[in-house]
């Protein structure tokens, strides 16, 4: 009886585990892509200094320093 239960549950558990791991890996890759976009570096159109997009503000399709601009 136990053999039958294990024989049925084990493949299902294995299948669910594989689906779970696959989704986990996909989420990880998706997050890695998002993070790499956040870390994107752009040039300030005023002072020409390259900074992380986090430190820049977009204005008229150009990036300008949020603060501490050299010009
Ligand atoms: Zn600047």
Residue 61, φ and ψ in degrees, nearest 5: 60, 20
Ligand 1 centroid, distance to 7 Cα (angstroms) = 66
- Which tokens go with 58? 């977009």
Ligand 1 centroid, distance to 48 Cα (angstroms) = 6
Predicted confidence pLDDT, tens digits, the chain (71 residues): 678 888 899 999 999 999 999 999 999 999 887 776 556 889 999 999 999 888 999 988 899 999 889 87
Ligand 1 centroid, distance to 47 Cα (angstroms) = 4
Taking the whole predicted model, whether its pTM rises above 0.85 is answered as: no
The pLDDT score that the predictor gives to residue 3 is 81
Element (H, E) at 41: strand 41-43
Q: Are strands 62-65 and 56-59 parallel, antiparallel or unpaired?
A: antiparallel
The domain locations on the chain are: 2-65
Cα(57)–Cα(43) distance, rounded to whole angstroms? 11
């Amino acid at each position: 009886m136990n053999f039958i239960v294990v024989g049925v549950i084990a493949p299902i558990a294995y299948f669910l585990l594989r689906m779970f791991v696959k989704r986990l890996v996909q989420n990880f890759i998706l997050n890695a892509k998002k993070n790499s976009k956040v870390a994107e570096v752009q040039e300030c159109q005023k002072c020409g200094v390259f900074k992380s997009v986090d430190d820049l503000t977009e204005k008229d399709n150009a990036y300008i320093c949020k603060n501490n601009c050299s010009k």
